[in-house]
Chain A
Amino acid sequence: EDQVTQSPEALRLQEGESSSLNCSYTVSGLRGLFWYRQDPGKGPEFLFTLYSAGEEKEKERLKATLTKKESFLHITAPKPEDSATYLCAVQRNTGFQKLVFGTGTRLLVSP
């Protein structure tokens, strides 16, 4: 069965202190790995889709990378507005193509 594990569960950073979030996955044939950001009381907001090992995508202070077993979300010089829960999800390329989510990393960036 497809599985996604995110670590750490929670992360507290000072403004400007760079770090990485981890997403480990097992899936029988990866169609895509998705990163979402979720603010309290809101639905997940799409950030990136990665399709194959070695792929990287960037958006402002965020950079996502993908290997055959993991994805990392690097946050460079974070600001308080980056505080949110970051969710990782995988979708297989055959059969039942639902998104399988990890339980997320709660990020708090203090000024």
Chain B
Amino acid sequence: KAGVTQTPRYLIKTRGQQVTLSCSPISGHRSVSWYQQTPGQGLQFLFEYFSETQRNKGNFPGRFSGRQFSNSRSEMNVSTLELGDSALYLCASSKNPGTGGSYGYTFGSGTRLTVV
């Protein structure tokens, strides 16, 4: 059974540029959440999508956005990159929103974004 797939694995961008990250959830999972992980802050919630709709959004500026497609794949976009956006961006999938349940939320391996 394929896990959560995130692409690309590594990315180096320059300040001011924009970036798009992709997440393919486990087959049958319709909810996708995004988290930012940094050494100082740990994992911080970005947003959650279900049925192509954003259900929840964390405390991040409007430069961070996302979307979900009809096949449940999700993308997140960061515009006007800043040095502080350097982080590991993780995607997690579950069958339905808010139901990590007995099997938890399944995370991908993440995209390591470095802004220079």
Contacts and interface: CB of A to CB of B under 8 A. Distances in A.
Interface of A: 31-32, 34, 36, 41-49, 87, 89, 91, 96-104
Contacts of B41: 103
A25 to B, nearest CB: 14
A70 B58 CA distance: 25
Given A36-B107, A41-B112, 11 more contacts: A32-B100, A34-B104, A43-B107, A43-B109, A45-B107, A49-B100, A49-B101, A49-B104, A98-B33, A98-B45, A100-B45
B105 interface: yes
Contact of B105 (A46, A100, A103, A104): A46
Please classify the interface of chain A as helix (H, G, I), strand (E, B), loop, or mixed, using the class held by over half of its residues: strand
Interface string B26-44: 0000000101000001111
Contacts of B81: none
A99 B100 contact: yes
Interface residues of B, number: 28
Contacts of B97: 97
Contacts of B105: 34, 46, 99
A46 B106 contact: yes
Given A49-B102, A97-B56, A102 B42 contact: yes
Contacts of A47: 104
A91 B107 contact: no
18 contacts: A31-B98, A41-B112, A43-B90, A43-B92, A43-B110, A44-B90, A46-B105, A49-B102, A49-B103, A87-B42, A87-B43, A97-B98, A98-B56, A98-B58, A99-B43, A99-B100, A101-B42, A102-B42
B109 A41 contact: yes
Given A49-B100, A49-B101, A104 B107 contact: no
A101 B44 CA distance: 7
